[in-house]
Amino acid sequence: MFVGIDIGGTKIKYALVDEAGQTSLKGLIDTPLEREPLLQVLEGIVSRFQKETLLRGIGVSAPGVVRKDGYMLTGGAIPGLEGLALKDYLKTKFNLPVFVENDGKAAAIAEKWLGNAQDVDNYICVVLGTGVGGGIVLDGQVLRGMTGAAGEFSWMLTQNSQNMKEISSYLAGHMGVLLGLCERYNIKEKALEPDFVPTRSALTIFEQEAENPRAAEAIREYIQEVARGLFNFSCIFNPEKILLGGGISANQGFIEGVQQTFQELFSRHLMVAGIQKELMPVVEVAGLKNDAGLLGAVYQLLQNESQESIDL
């Protein structure tokens, strides 16, 4: 058995994982933001499982830029991860094989193993959350780049670079749920009602879509932003599939809106409309939901055991 750990910005998910990807003894705990408390929590998870069963390795999915050697260049929203040699730390502590992977790449790997990418070799997982993360797989290989930062879509500039202090200059301000949808809605409401209390809940906005024209407009504009981003990703990477993750992907109306708008962009684009059938990828929801990160990290331990490449 393996320990799978998915470090999120607010919660840490963990489970025992077997060779077939079946999970057991799942748990959830708050994520400490500082290094020492965070390491204590991780140690406690592994130590608990060591008492339950014979462990073969530890797979960790984490936000931020993760080098191939398991060193955390950045830690996303978790300051305690930045500059941490997490793989070396856990390997020394427990004398077990360890694999540390960026959460977007781990999700992409898991989708190939057990999810909705089993039938393709070229695909992108796009995770819509506070920002926009993802994993890119081309010709069956995970695209990592020089330092492991490939797939950090949030950083992409979308406007005049002289305005770098404005979050709207970055793709996170357009495709991220918090800024692309919630902040867009809050601005519309505040223009009408100065005392409006801003929301950070996409669910609240979708619940008002039918009767609140500002909510409906914000959702429509956000769908257009997401579809345009996916179109641009398609032009760069030429995938067979784009898999959407994040909590908002559970909203069927949102997914259908993105799919329809995405198709319209292809049909209206003068340079690609003639080859739309050959060029346009399938856009669908990622299959593994909450377990994707920890499964993707564990999969690579299995690959190492079988002496295969750590890539797909």
- The per-residue pLDDT for 169 is 66
Of 8-12, 79-83, 85-89, 291-295, the one with minimum mean pLDDT is 8-12
Q: Which of 73, 1, 84 has its CA nearest to residue 42?
A: 84
Residue 98 dihedral angles phi and psi, to the nearest 5°:
-135, 140
User: Would you state the pLDDT for residue 207?
Assistant: 95
> What are the residues whose beta carbons fall under 8 Å from the beta carbon of 119, sequence distance 6 or more?
none
pLDDT above 70: residue 158? yes
Please count the other Cβ atoms lying within 10 Å of the Cβ belonging to residue 198. Answer: 11
Strand order in the sheet with 241-245: 141-142, 132-138, 123-128, 241-245, 282-285
Both tokens of residue 191?
């223009």
Is the model's pLDDT at 49 over the cut of 90? yes
What's the chain's length in residues?
312
The predicted structure's pLDDT at residue 184: 93
The region that residue 24 occupies, defined by phi over 0 for left and psi between -120 and 50 for alpha, beta otherwise, is beta
Banded pLDDT at 289 (limits 50, 70, 90): confident
3-state DSSP assignment of residue 8: coil
Q: Can you read off the two tokens belonging to residue 223? A: 């769908």
Question: Is residue 275 pLDDT above 70, yes or no?
Answer: yes
CA 52 to CA 40: how far, in whole Å? 19
The structure tokens 């993105």 sit at: 258
Could you tell me where the beta strands, DSSP code E, fall in 129-246?
A: 132-138, 141-142, 241-245
Contacts of 95 (CB under 8 A, 6+ apart): none
pTM of the predicted structure, to 2 decimals = 0.87
For the beta carbon of residue 1, count every other beta carbon within 10 angstroms: 19
Q: Which helix (H) or strand (E) holds 16?
A: strand 11-17
> How much is the average pLDDT of 145-166?
79
Phi/psi at 164 (5° precision): -65, -20
Mean pLDDT score across all residues of the chain: 91
Going along 116-196, which residue ranges are E strands? 123-128, 132-138, 141-142
Q: Are 243 and 285 spatial neighbours (Cβ–Cβ below 8 Å)?
A: yes
